[in-house]
Amino acid sequence: MERYDIIIIGTGPAGVSAAITATIRNKKIMLIGSKDLSSKIAQGHTIENYPGLPSIAGADFGNALKKHLENLNISIHEDRVSAVYSMGDYFSVQVGQDMIEADSVILATGVVAGKPINGESELVGRGVSYCATCDAPLYRGKDVIVIGYSQKEEEEARFLSEVTNSVTYFQVYKGETHLPESIKIVQSRPSEIKHVGDKNIVVDAEGNTYEADGIFVLRDAISPGQLVPGLKTEGAHIVVDRNMATSINGCFACGDIVGLPYQYIKSAGEGNIAALSAVGYIDKKRLAK
């Protein structure tokens, strides 16, 4: 299997910055995220505090980052990482349905807004999934619930409706949906996920219950503790030192996910540090062999 030097997860300013530095330092990287980079860049109306780019619109800032990646021939692998496993000497990263290996991992996944739904964390792998592409085959001909936190999750719901018996879609955002009539839309925020008897998961939302064989919770980011088993976290954040090293050897983190203040320039700066630390970690490991 092909092995990367560094897998960088997240395409906000932190991940993009890490990818730029790691590439300049000649490392073989895989940058995983979205071709649109980050919804938080697109939403930025006018950014007044990024040095060298005064009063820049979020969209223009995004285009400048994309251009910088292009100039260095860095491509974005558009997918979602659903798990990162430390194997001791290397990492095994689940990307869609594939497992990809790397010597080091940089987590730049942005902060997860809000808490997980009650019961969600306990039922991961026992009916709760974060990846339609990976787990849809498990629910062929069965009933599923999709909890979509942004409009782009509608594509996942459409895909699931082609594979499963039925899809109930919780729309946890404002605006219109563009879903086929076969998908039942519920416009409320689920309060709890639980297992009842041998059948199924039940979602309580505003007093109603909905049953299904599985639940897909689809949001921009999953909590870091769920993404990387064994990772030390504090609230919504990953614990890091000044080198952006996490509690797991070879795993670094940067940007909003490591704590306040939530700012573009802080994220970009930390992405740079995380990349340099990952480069140092890899070089030291190879010298010792």
Ligand X SMILES: Cc1cc2nc3c(=O)[nH]c(=O)nc-3n(C[C@H](O)[C@H](O)[C@H](O)COP(=O)(O)OP(=O)(O)OC[C@H]3O[C@@H](n4cnc5c(N)ncnc54)[C@H](O)[C@@H]3O)c2cc1C
33 binds ligand X (CB under 6 A): yes
Which residue, chain included where needed, has tokens 């998908």?
Answer: 183
3-state secondary structure labels for all residues of 220-274: CCCCHHHHCCCCCEECCEECCCCCCECCCCCEEECHHHHCCCCCHHHHHHHHHHH
In angstroms, the CA 224 to CA 209 distance is: 29
CB of 17 to ligand X, least distance (A): 8
Site string for ligand X, 257-286 (x = CB under 6 A): -----xxxx-x-------------------
Q: Of the candidates 104, 77, 101, 99, which has an alpha carbon nearest to the alpha carbon of residue 3? A: 101
Q: Assess 43 for contact with ligand X (CB under 6 A).
A: yes
Q: Which range, of 32-40, 165-173, 190-198, 273-281, touches ligand X by CB under 6 A? A: 32-40
Which of 38, 164, 171, 233 is the binder for ligand X (CB under 6 A)?
Answer: 38
Residues 11-30 interacting with ligand X (rule: CB under 6 A)? 11-15
128-129 and 214-218 strand pairing: parallel
Pick the piece of the chain touching ligand X (CB under 6 A) from 108-116, 118-126, 135-143, 189-197. Answer: 108-116
Near ligand X by CB under 6 A, which window of 40-48, 176-184, 210-218, 228-236? 40-48
* Tokens (6 digits) for 129: 């999934």
Here the tokens at position 126 are: 């026992």
Among 6, 7, 22, 32, binds ligand X (CB under 6 A): 32
55 near ligand X (CB under 6 A) = no
Identify the sign of the CA torsion 251, 274, 103, 75: positive
Q: How far is the CB of 134 from ligand X (least distance, A)?
A: 12
Token representation of residue 213: 């064989």
Peptide bond into 261 cis (omega under 30): yes
Least distance from C-beta 168 to ligand X, angstroms? 24
Give the residues lining the site for ligand X (CB under 6 A).
9-15, 32-34, 37-38, 40-41, 43-44, 47, 49, 80-81, 108-110, 220-222, 227, 255-256, 262-265, 267
